[in-house]
């Protein structure tokens, strides 16, 4: 490997590390899991909750969500929200582990999008392996019989 190529890789890696540090310092992204781990530190912090978040049930004055195995109460408007739906929230975290809803977006067709994506991935694999075969660790084109 040439010195110039190694230098280019080092500069790009350094730029990537620098941008990551800059991003963390200017916008320290706080997750719901961070808030639940240290409720006193993150009390009154605005948090975006979207990663695999599902509506778990309804409570007085709001609803509960389930994210990464934890069930968290959300106080706020329940209009348009149904149990079992994927949801994205912007909320204020309150001690000891309650979210005060600011905005909610119900991802109604998320399951359909996942199914279409899986179907597409399987179709691409079927088409690929109908044209190519794996022999001795390499993909080789299949011969077509006329």
For β-strands 138-141 and 86-94, DSSP reports them as unpaired
Same domain, 8 and 20: yes
**What total number of domains does the chain contain?**
3
Same domain, 80 and 124: no
Q: Does the pLDDT of residue 98 top 80, yes or no?
A: yes
Same domain, 69 and 9: no
Give the helix/strand (H/E) hosting 5.
Answer: helix 3-26
Same domain, 16 and 49: no
Q: How far is CA 58 from the centre of its chain?
A: 24
Confidence at residue 117, expressed as pLDDT on a 0 to 100 scale: 96
Question: Is 74 buried (19+), middle (13-18) or exposed (0-12) by CB count in 10 A?
Answer: buried
On whether residue 146 sits in a domain, the answer given is no
Instruction: Give the domain extent around 16.
Output: 1-28
Opening angle at CA 28, ends 102 and 45, nearest 5: 35
Same domain, 57 and 82: yes
To the question of pTM greater than 0.85 for the whole model, the response is: no
Same domain, 18 and 73: no
pLDDT tens digit string along 49-93? Answer: 988 899 999 999 999 999 988 999 999 999 989 999 999 999 999
Q: Could you tell me where the DSSP H helices lie in 27-134?
A: 32-37, 110-131
On whether residue 99 sits in a domain, the answer given is yes
Q: How far apart are the first and last CA of the chain?
A: 45
């Amino acid at each position: 490997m040439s010195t110039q190529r190694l230098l280019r890789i080092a500069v790009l890696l350094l730029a990537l590390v620098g941008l990551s540090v800059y991003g963390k310092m200017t916008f320290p992204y706080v997750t719901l899991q961070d808030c639940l781990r240290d409720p006193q530190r993150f009390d009154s912090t605005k948090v975006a909750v979207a990663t695999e978040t599902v509506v778990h049930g309804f409570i007085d004055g709001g609803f509960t969500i389930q994210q990464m195995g934890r069930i968290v109460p959300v106080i706020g408007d329940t209009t348009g929200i149904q149990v079992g739906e994927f949801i994205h929230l912007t909320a204020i975290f309150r001690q000891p582990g309650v979210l005060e809803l600011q905005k909610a977006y119900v991802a109604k067709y998320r399951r359909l999008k996942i199914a279409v994506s899986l179907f597409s991935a399987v179709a691409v694999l079927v088409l690929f392996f109908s044209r190519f075969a794996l022999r001795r660790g390499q993909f080789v084109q299949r011969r077509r019989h006329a």
